[in-house]
Amino acid sequence: MAFTATDPIKMIFAVILPPVGVFLEVGLKGHFWLNILLTMLGFIPGIIHAFYVILKH
């Protein structure tokens, strides 16, 4: 849960295109597919989930 040097880049991607930020953090796992679904349902839920994943891992 430590803050790494790549986290700011992932957070920028999380705001611009949330699935990319999640992909950089976890790869093609469940969180990535969930984030794609959330982003399609509403952009804000995708951003919130992306920040959650990036800060949690």
41 found inside a domain? yes
Over residues 5-34, the mean pLDDT reads: 94
Please check the confidence at residue 44 and state whether its pLDDT lies above 70. yes
Confidence of residue 1 (pLDDT cuts 50, 70, 90): low
Which H helix or E strand runs over 1? none
End-to-end alpha carbon distance in the chain = 6
Over residues 4-21, the mean pLDDT reads: 93
DSSP string, 13-44: HHHH-HHHHHHHHH-SSHHHHHHHHHHHH-HH
Residue with tokens 């990535």: 32
Check residue 30 and give its pLDDT.
95
Q: CB 49: neighbour CB atoms within 10 A?
A: 21
11 found inside a domain? yes
30 found inside a domain? yes
Please check the confidence at residue 52 and state whether its pLDDT lies above 90. yes
Question: In the chain, how many domains are there?
Answer: 1
Percent of the chain with pLDDT over 90: 86
Domain assignment of residue 45, given as a range: 7-56
